[in-house]
């Protein structure tokens, strides 16, 4: 069995130069100061670079993002799956809205030919949520008397794959 990983994100809205690091700790730290180089994500938010740091779930309670040259956040509470922007943790959508870039969505649809009571979507590369995935929404319309379920994804998203399941 593999350990569940969780990420925290830093949106470099301050446009810090140099290497963006994550210094994480509870009673022990992930490394000596200034921490570990964060991973630069492929996507940007409102034109700002996004960095992430990943660790086994429950490992750290706190994190500081810094550039190793005097620029750093305050001591932050580790908030898995959230994006730190200037003054707090946000969902990706709220971070984008805060920075003036609303995110547009499109739907992925699934026709429930097997009559599952609940439908979930699991994606990889990137993974939207851990197995078994996120709940889909049952639509009011039907196709050939079968329920249609939907899930909103960021417009233009590409996945290595997706799997529909009944959880």
pLDDT digits (tens, 9 = 90+) for 3-39: 788 999 999 999 999 999 999 999 999 999 999 999 9
- 48-72 burial, b for 16+ CB within 10 Å, e for fewer? bbbbebebeeeebeebbbbbbeeeb
Distance CA 102, CA 122 (A): 24
Q: pTM score > 0.85 for this model? A: no
Model pLDDT for residues 102-150, shown as the tens digit of each residue: 777 889 999 999 999 999 999 887 777 778 888 999 999 999 999 999 9
Query: 2: pLDDT confidence band, cut at 50, 70 and 90?
Result: low
Give the closest residue to 88 by CA, choosing from 164, 151, 9.
9
Which tokens hold the place of 118? Answer: 């609940």
CA distances (Å), origin 55, targets 52, 65, 116, 117? 10, 15, 34, 34
């Amino acid at each position: 069995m593999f350990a569940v990983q969780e990420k925290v994100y830093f949106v470099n809205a301050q446009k810090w130069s140099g290497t963006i690091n994550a210094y994480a700790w509870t009673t022990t730290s992930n490394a000596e100061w200034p921490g570990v180089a964060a991973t630069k994500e492929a996507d940007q938010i409102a034109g700002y670079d996004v960095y992430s740091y990943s660790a086994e779930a429950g490992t750290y309670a706190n994190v500081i993002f810094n550039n190793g040259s005097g620029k750093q956040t305050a001591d932050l509470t580790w908030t898995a799956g959230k994006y730190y922007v200037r003054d707090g943790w946000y969902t990706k959508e709220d971070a984008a809205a805060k920075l003036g870039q609303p995110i547009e969505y499109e739907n992925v649809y699934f026709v429930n030919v097997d009559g599952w009571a609940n439908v979930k979507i699991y994606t990889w590369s990137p993974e939207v949520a851990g197995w078994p995935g996120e709940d889909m929404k049952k639509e009011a319309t039907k196709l050939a008397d079968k329920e249609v379920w939907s899930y909103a994804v960021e417009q233009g998203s590409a996945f290595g794959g997706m799997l529909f399941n009944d959880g």
